[in-house]
Amino acid sequence: MFLTITTTGTAENPATDLGFLLHKHPDRVRVENQSHGTAHVFYPEATAERCTAALLLEVDPVALVRRGQGKGRGGAPDAALAQYVNDRPYAASSLLAVALSGVFRTALKGQCVLRPELPEQARPLRIEIPVLPARGGAELVHRLFGPLGWDLVQAEAVPLDEQFPEWGDSRYVRLVLEGELRLADALRQLYVLLPVLDDSKHYWIAPDEVDKLLRAGDGWLAAHPENGLISSRYLARHKRLTQDAIERLELVRLAEADGSEVEEIDNAVDETRDTEERPVPLAVQRREAILAALRSAGAARVLDLGCGQGQLVQALFKDVSFTEIVGMDVSVRALNIAAKRLRLERMGERQSARVTLLQGSLAYTDKRLAGYDAAVLSEVIEHLDLERLPALEYAVFGSARPRTVLVTTPNVEYNVRWETLPAGHVRHGDHRFEWTREEFRAWAGQVAQRHGYGVAYVPIGDDDPEVGPPTQMAVFTQTDTTDTTDTPKEGEAA
Ligand code: SAH
């Protein structure tokens, strides 16, 4: 399996910058062992004017079969021979996509620590894949790559046998793409579309495959006219996952049309590398930890303050022990997306009576929020300026006063563990601050004391012995039911 990426340049903007973008030095040959074979990266040409990187993946077909059988998913008995005699080793397939994401992992994310400006720039690219299985033929290749900003999309059918033209064409094409794109965008398109064209994804489809598809599709898939076909094939025609992907893409498209950012799984840094190992995304772990804390507090009527696009509201809704769920956010756009996610308009009366979405701000007291069992502030406080925190504190702990309050926020100490997060950067552009464990506890301890709550801390995600967990959660439980605090009034800073 073979793929080349070529770019051109000038003395000021040399083509060899491709080496920085790919994190692979043009003078060296890199060999990496992958789960399905060996990947080689080398540069057949590397001058300031023109530079080509080649990715060659050698697949061990026997190991491939053994791996499959070892996991109890060998083929049907009559397919026994086909398992050994097939095109896997030669044709670019989903295996090449996996190799691409492994070898060019950082490039795929559009990151370059040494030259951070480079990934942002579009540059002239030529991508060639000599043998690409294309179920749906050249016509489908054009439908898939056509809308993605390439100047040239060429898909030439490869004859079955050059000696016998009368035998007709094989199902392979030689693909050439030319245009001016950001390399990361091009790679992410290939990562998704190679397995789509191959249409026989080799690995197990797990639920987080949808997350991966949405991450790789960021910026191009939601608006793609074929996103239904792409999702279905990428997810190996798994009906429920495909439906899920299509709905989520629709939400992304709405948000894009609105000009707002979608906070799909909160951090792009939470990437999974190998398709075989599937860590649970941090956002999912956070939701699970919140649900567990709410259940153990025995909460039935719950506020989700700063609910964003309603992922937690949806999870709460699925559990009937939560009898009343209120999502509140300052952003109308986010609430519209949440309503769509929940399909509020299509719910029956009894179901829809369980959920309310409110627009409001945590910087002000709000009578509508009084009298609930619990309130969740998941990844919200860090979106407020520090000077606004006393107002939020009063609105939640002084005025609304639910029995239980859960507050989660990033633990900044953990940031050094995100391989791809440049030193000193916060995880999300809109974070006004990120706290250490000590800073968070100092704040939470004082809040608890001022308002008659006890507080405990729960780590979320991998709890690193040195730097702690990626997310920290404070669980506040009311001890004093008569609030005697003399905290500032509405909207006032302390
Ligand atoms: N709770 C969600 C969303 C976190 S993003 C989650 O865990 O995924 C932070 C959210 O806080 C955004 O939706 C933002 O609109 C909201 N927010 C920011 N300032 C706010 C304020 N003053 N009042 C209410 N919501 C606010």
Mind giving me the DSSP string for 24-91? --TTS-EEEEETTEEEEEEEEEE-SSEEEEEEEEEE-HHHHHHHHHHTT----GGGHHHHHSSSTTTS
Q: In this structure, which amino acid lies at residue 23?
A: H
Residue 363 near ligand 1, beta carbon < 6 Å: yes
Going from the Cα of 23 to the center of ligand 1, the distance in angstroms, rounded, reads 36
Q: Is 378 in the pocket of ligand 1 (CB under 6 A)?
A: yes
pLDDT value of position 349: 81
Give residue 67's pLDDT: 58
Amino acid 165: pLDDT:
80
Please list the ranges in the chain whose pLDDT falls under 70.
61-92, 201-205, 207, 255-279, 420, 422, 482-494
Nearest CA to ligand 1 atom 15: 331
3-state secondary structure of 194: helix
Tokens of 322: 């939560």
The sheet with strand 301-305 has its strands ordered as: 355-359, 324-329, 301-305, 374-378, 404-410, 471-478, 453-460
| Range list for CATH 3.40.50.150 in the chain | 260-266+278-478
What b/e sequence results for 156-178 when a residue is b if at least 16 CB atoms lie within 10 Å of its CB, and e otherwise?
A: eebeeeeeeeeeeebbbbbbbbb
pLDDT at 151: 94
pLDDT given at position 91: 59
Residue 425 identity: H
Q: Measured between alpha carbons, how far is 423 from 425 in angstroms, rounded to an integer? A: 6
**pLDDT value at position 107?**
93
**CA distances from residue 56 to 2, 10, 62, 197 in whole angstroms, order as listed:** 5, 27, 18, 19
Position 257 scores a pLDDT of 61
Q: Is 306 in the pocket of ligand 1 (CB under 6 A)?
A: yes
CA 78, 80, 83, 86 dihedral sign is: negative
Q: How far is Cα 379 from Cα 406, in angstroms, rounded to an integer? A: 10
d(CA 268, CA 429): 12
* Ligand 1 contact, 390 CB (< 6 A): no
CA 44 / ligand 1 centre spacing (Å): 50
Angle, helices 239-257/332-342, rounded to nearest 10 degrees? 160
Atom of ligand 1 nearest to the CA of 408: 7
Q: Is the CB of 34 under 6 A from ligand 1?
A: no
Which atom of ligand 1 is nearest the CA belonging to 334? 13
Per-residue model confidence (pLDDT) at position 292:
97
In this prediction the pTM is 0.55
User: Based on the number of CB atoms within 10 Å of its own CB, is 61 exposed (0-12), middle (13-18) or buried (19 or more)?
Assistant: middle
Domain 2-204, CATH homologous superfamily name and number: Hen1, N-terminal domain (3.30.1610.20)
Instruction: Show Cβ contacts of residue 456 under 8 Å, excluding neighbours closer than 6 positions.
Output: 474, 475, 477
Specify the pLDDT at position 92: 59
338 lines ligand 1 (CB under 6 A): no
Q: Which segments of the chain belong to CATH 3.30.1610.20?
A: 2-204
Q: Is the CB of 109 under 6 A from ligand 1?
A: no
Residue of 150, 233, 141 lying closest to 185 (CA atoms): 150
Residues 6+ apart with CB under 8 A from 239: none
Distances (CA, A) of 465 to 137, 269, 394, 436: 53, 20, 34, 14
pLDDT digits over 184-205, tens only?
999 999 999 999 998 876 556 6
Q: Is 211 in the pocket of ligand 1 (CB under 6 A)?
A: no
Q: Is 384 close to ligand 1, i.e. is its CB under 6 Å away?
A: yes
Q: Which of ligand 1's atoms lies nearest the C-alpha of 307?
A: 1
Is residue 57 lining ligand 1, measured as CB closer than 6 Å? no
Residues 62-96 have pLDDT tens digits of: 666 665 543 333 344 444 555 555 555 555 577 88
In a mutational test of the pocket of ligand 1, which residue from 329, 358, 365 has the highest number of ligand atoms less than 8 Å from its CB?
Answer: 329
Which residue, among 466, 461, 458, 472, has the nearest Cα to 279 in the 3D structure?
461
Q: Where are the alpha helices (DSSP H) in 222-370?
A: 227-234, 239-257, 282-296, 311-317, 332-342, 349-352
Mean pLDDT of the chain: 85
The encoded tokens of residue 40 equal 């080689």
Q: Is the CB of 248 under 6 A from ligand 1?
A: no
pLDDT for res 170: 81
Q: What's the confidence (pLDDT) of residue 275?
A: 36
CATH top-level class of 260-266+278-478: alpha beta
